Amino acid sequence: MSSTPTDSEGGSDWEGEEAMDVMCQCIFCSKELEQGANAVLEHCTVDHEFDLMSFIKERGMQFYLCIKLINFIRKENVSPSQVMSAVSPFPWEDDCYLQPVIVDDPLLQLDFEPTPADSNPSSHSDVDLGSQLTDMEKQVAVYKEALSRAHVDLESMRSAVQAIVLDGEPQSTSDSSSIDLDSDGYFHSYSHHSIHEEMLKDEVRTETYRIFIERNPELFKDKVVLDVGCGTGVLSMFAAQAGAKRVYGVDQSSIVYKAMDIVRENGFEDRITLIRGKVEEVQLPVDKVDIIISEWMGYFLLFESMLDTVIFARDKWLKDQARVFPNVCSISLVALGNKYDWDSKIRFWDCVYGFKMSCMKEEVLRDASVTVVDQYSIISSSDTVKKFDLSTTGVSDLEFEAYFELTVQSDTLCHAFAGYFDIGFEQVPNLVHMSTSPRDEPTHWKQTVFYLAQPFQVNTGDLIKGSIRCNKIKSDPRSLEVTVSYELDSFISESQPIKSQQKYFLR
């Protein structure tokens, strides 16, 4: 193994002896160089115009922060310009970036500590003990925050285990102030391109927003817009295209770095600013915004609890609370009669390859099913059980109990109830609406089906009356607990009374 060359030999005195003669991949592209870390440093400087060592030295970065930087670049696939334009707190400060992306990465074996000449106060008069102390204090603050979050996660796990052991199921709560939505797993799920591809290819979803913005340009012209949960930035670009003076997009997922590239690729970097972070924690460059747009809806409208975040942003930044879009939404129920679906989902467990597995039914029935409902399986009228006006809705309104009444439209068996939602862009010159009803074009939200443990006979003109209660699950506040109570008011006098209640989870 050859030793690290000195400056007089054309090498860098920052390099470690073990990082020279092994294959090493560039941090910005897929190119691999046989000459090791030294060659990659030169390649980055020449081909990507990014001098890694100078970048580290100029910022006085400590050893572990250098390790995080390299792993951050590899993991998030960011560009040199994104790294150089980053401001404190830097996105690579998270301790998750201490985990190597490449095993035995030669770049991680470099000696990032400055040479004696570099650490000599006479040669670096601008670096004093005060600045070093400040850097150390920042690192301590980062570690304290990580420790605090670990304690929160531990408490969440303890609560979940306690709930399951004591009650056999997660606990719901109506105390929204105790809910912690700081879920790294949730945001990580939105880092992958596939979920954004699915949403963008949902033409009903994306076209609804595009049509609303294009048909109401006067709402956006010369306005400051906030895009909550911006994802790939498509809504931000729609707003900029409609004439918005400035658009701020916020997203905690690392997809925001790809969105930055998309914004630059389409020439909107002068009007769109994207920020990575939780809406509840970030600071905007402005005190107030004119409009909030967000595609926050989840299954059964409220799954994932992103509406909580939109409400927070509305109360903190919006000048006029009526300017949050969409500004109205509702949840509806309908009864279903589909023997084939019920048999394949529930009765299936009565005999599986000749074996009885009926104990599995209880678990299957507890989880609501997200699926596309055949409109021909609808056997009743629909009833809107909850409406939200986003200019006034509070977080406490997102847990509710409501009553419904469904008129049966055929003689058949009732096997399930299905929930769906509608949204509207109202109080604008050109109104736009979207529905996820099984009677309309399918969307990626599909419908939420609550299968019955025991189907019951219904006849034309019968009334199915009941209530639906929706709560967040305490141990997992992005999930929902839905309780459906129902009874049959039949016009057939000899029919047996039907009255029941079932609890479901959407998680």
Show which residues are catalytic: 295, 304
Closest to 309 in 3D by CA, of 243, 233, 246, 253? 253
CB 402 within 8 A of CB 418: no
Residue 152, helix vs strand vs coil:
helix
3-state secondary structure of 336: strand
* Burial call 404-439: b when 16+ CB within 10 Å, e when fewer: bebebbeebebbbbbbbbbbbbeebeeebebbbbbe
Check if the beta carbon of residue 251 is closer than 8 Å to that of residue 229: yes
- The DSSP letter of residue 373 is P
Q: Give the integer Cα–Cα distance in Å for 83 and 69.
A: 9
Structure tokens at 35: 């000459």
Terminal alpha carbon distance of the chain: 55
Do the beta carbons of residue 458 and residue 411 sit within 8 Å? yes
List phi, psi (to 5°) of 174. Answer: -105, 0
* Phi and psi at residue 506, to the nearest 5°: -115, 105
415 touches 338 (CB < 8 A): yes
Here the tokens at position 286 are: 């402005």
DSSP 499: E
DSSP per-residue letters across 363-421: HHHHB-EEEPPPGGGEEEEEEEEEEEETTT--GGGGSEEEEEEEEB-SSEEEEEEEEEE
